[in-house]
Structures are given as C-alpha cells and as structure tokens.
Structure 1
Amino acid sequence: MIRLILDSYHMGEWNMANDLAIAEEIGNSNSPTTIKVYGWSIPTLSLGKHQKESSIDKEFLKTHKFGLVRRPTGGRAVFHNKEITYLFAISSKDKRLPKNVIQSYMKISDGLTMTLKSLGVNCDVQKNKKKAISRDICYDSPSLYEVTINGKKLIGSAQYRNEKFVLQHGSIPNKFDYRNYVDSFKIKNKKQMISHLENNVTDIQEYLGRSISYEEFADEVKNSFSKVFDEEVEYGEITEKEIKLTKKYLENFKIEL
C-alpha cells in the first residue's frame, strides 16, 4: 500500500524537515511508500542542498517577509508561491522504482503527467536537455524527464537518495511568480531573465484558465500512481514519530534573514 497524505500549508523549514522525516521513517521500514501534497504558509525561496547563498538577495526576501530555506535535495533555487508541492518517498530497496536516477525520475514523472492529463493538462516529459543561462535558478531550463507543456517547463523537481531511501519533491505552479522569483537574486540582467522565464516556463492557469486545488490533484494522484506503481494508494496521516523527527530537524533547513 502507498500512503497519500493531503497536508496543509506550513513554513518552509517544516515542509523540508517533514519531507526528510517521512523519507527516513520509510528507510527504516517504519512507514510505507508515501506521496504527500502540501503548500507553503508564506512565499519561500528554497535552495538546493549545496547551493551557495551569495547570490541571494536576503534583504529583498526580508523586506517582503518571504521565507528562505535549504532543501534536503540538490539542484537550484525554487520560489514557492501559488503552487501545489508534492513529495514522493520510497525505500531504496523497493524494486518498483528503478535504481537508475534518470529512470526513477521518469517513472515518477509518468505518475505526475497521468495525474495532470486526467485534470485536462496536456503535458509531457522532457526528453532533451536544454541549455540554462543561470547557475542559481531552477526554472531556467527543464532537466531530462521533467514535466513540460509544449516544451515549456511546468514542474521543477529535485531528488536525494541514499542506501535507505529515495526522496523526490517538486513544485507545480498554479500561477508562476516571475517577478518575485527573479528579484530574490542579486543579478543584473533581471529583465532578460524574466523574459527568458516567460518564454520557457508555464503554469496551470496559463493552460487551463483556472487553478487546480490540492484536493482534486490528490484524488487524481491516488488513481494515477496506483496504475504506475501497480499498488493501491490510500489516504493516510503523518505519524507521531514523523512529527517528532520533523521538530528535531527544523533547524537544519531554516536560513536566517
């Protein structure tokens, strides 16, 4: 059985700590494979695990009362606002997910594309690597096997794996916040970057003319991932032990402004 958690809105450090806590409990065989759908209490910039902070405009984030956190996953920065966020966590020993990193991305992306197609979003999986113009901004270009619409990046995902678990999470924008995303960085060519993003990124509202709610997304995730992984997906809750671990890890992810 795959557990599906329909969570609510939290601060960024809680979201990241909870993702890791869930994955660790799965790796220790205390929790089942888990999909979580959640949101962010305030607009928040998340940095990759090893990403440097020097290019971040912390004063801008502080002035606008935005959050800044570090993810347990790698990759470049993502600005979380007006979006659906997902977590997929599974044991590294589970044979349903390929050991190969790209193939594992592809299988999870298959579940995501099936989910979105059932909601009327005709998306696909990126097959070719596109050139990026920034070292810091995740949505600069789609990576292999990320979800796109007509070649434009829709979902930004990142993955972390070790000998116990695989943790992947990602951002599905209902309405992409170009301006605040770019203004979160100390870069000179902001107009060029915004134009580049507008030409290479899309969101749910642009395609459907409306937003997708967490509830309808989760319901379709339940159907789609059960088919992709050939396993029943059932709604469940975060355990007390996962909450305890989350509180323990909070300070590992928050970045002071």
Structure 2
Amino acid sequence: MSMSIVHSELQSEVWDFWADGKHSPAFNMAADEVLLEHACLRGRPLLRFYGWDRLAVSIGYVQALSAAPAGFAAVRRPTGGGIVYHDHDFTYTVVFPKGHWLTGLDRVLSYDWLNRSVQQALHSLNLQADLADQEISSEVDRLSMVCFTNPTRYDVLLGDRKVAGSAQRRSKDGILHQGSLHFGGPLP
C-alpha cells in the first residue's frame, strides 16, 4: 500500500505503508534492519506499524542486555536510546533511502520533522501534544536509562508525560527511525 505525505506547502511524495502484525522481538528488529539495508532498492520511504507477540523490552544499541529487567523478552534495537517497554505501546518504523531529502538534514532536524509529524497526528485526534525542549541530564546513566522516564529534545509530551520517543540509525543506505507511543497502561 502507498500513501501521499506532504513535507512542505508545495511538495508531496509517495511512501510505502506496511501494516504488519505482531511478531517476536527478534523478528521485529531483524525486519527493521533488512528494511534499512534494502532502502535504496525500494527508492522511497516506508512506514511500518507493528506489534509484539509477548511482553518485551528493546534496548538501545549501546546498552548491555543485562540492563533489561527480568520477566521480559529482551532484544537489542539497531538504533540508540533507552530501554523501551513493549507491553502497552504502539510501535512504528520509518525508513528513508539514501538521497531522500530528509537524509540531507542533520540528526536533530530530522527528529524535529518526524516528531512534529507525530505531534500533528495527535492534534488531529484532539490530543494537545507538545515537543520537549530539554536535553537529558548528564547525570543519567545512558547504559541503563529507560526511554519514557527521560524526555529529550523533540520527544512528544502530553502534559509533562513523555508519550512518544524515537531513535535513529543512519547508514550508507539511508535512515532507520524507530518510534514508540505509550497512551495507557503502566509506564515504568
């Protein structure tokens, strides 16, 4: 399936859309890595929605697997960031091929554009979402950090609660942007 995305007042583009099902943690991360590796062959962005077939945590690529809490299946993401609990979340991936206009933006500006898109989607649902403007304190241990307890610039907030976080990996093939939204259920 494809859809049209507007990225400025004058331009729109076609993206591929994959409404995927629930899979194992290992499958979900492997699928995202393959999507990045083949981004240039596809030639246009792909948005993937997917779920988890069991309670799981994904950890950023710089974190140790030992940082994962007991009782959850653990998997390493190909992107950075903190521990994400996949129990009550909505998970998505966006992959951009090399040469796409967004790959020409620096990392911070690409987070701004992508997370503003999430913010606008929440606004369309009458949810008053804002973007965080702070940086994570240097006192936070990034090797054991939990994503949703540490808002950083351009994360999506409802009130003072972080409800959407994301992380990226950039390669010669393009950008892999993974995100998670938590609207209900407990957050650690």
Range into which the TM-score falls when normalised by the shorter chain: 0.7 to 0.9
Deviation per CA, 1:114-167: give whole Å up to 9, x if none.
111111211011122253645321122111111112232111211100122100
Residue in structure 1 matching 2:89, options 83, 90, 103: 83
Q: Match for residue 103 of structure 1?
A: 109
Q: Does 1:10 align with 2:59?
A: no
Unaligned runs of 5+ in 2: 1-13
Larger radius of gyration: 1
Secondary structure of the corresponding residue to residue 113 of structure 1: helix
Indicate yes or no: 2:84 matched with 1:71.
Answer: no
**Aligned length in residues:** 172
Distance 1:149 1:98 in 2: 30
Pairwise CA RMSD: 1.8
Q: Percent identity?
A: 27
SS at match of 2:65: coil
Matched residue of 1:105: which SS?
helix
Structure whose residues are more often strand by fraction: 2
Once superposed, which parts of structure 1, at least 4 consecutive aligned residues long, lie more than 2 Å away? 28-32, 53-57, 96-99, 130-135
Cα pair 2:57 2:68 within 8 Å, conserved: no
Contact kept? 1:81, 1:173, Cα under 8 Å: no
Q: Which has the higher helix share?
A: 1
5+ residue gaps in structure 1?
182-257
Is 1:151 the equivalent of 2:160? yes
Separation of aligned partners in 2, 1:127 and 1:166:
23
Cα separation, partners in 2 of 1:33 and 1:83, compared to 1, 3 Å: same
Compute the TM-score of the two structures, normalised by the length of structure 2.
0.83
| Structure 1 match to 2:62 | 50
Residue type of the partner of 2:18? I
Q: Normalization by structure 1: what TM-score?
A: 0.62
Structure with more contact order per residue of length (Cα contacts < 8 Å, sep ≥ 6): 1
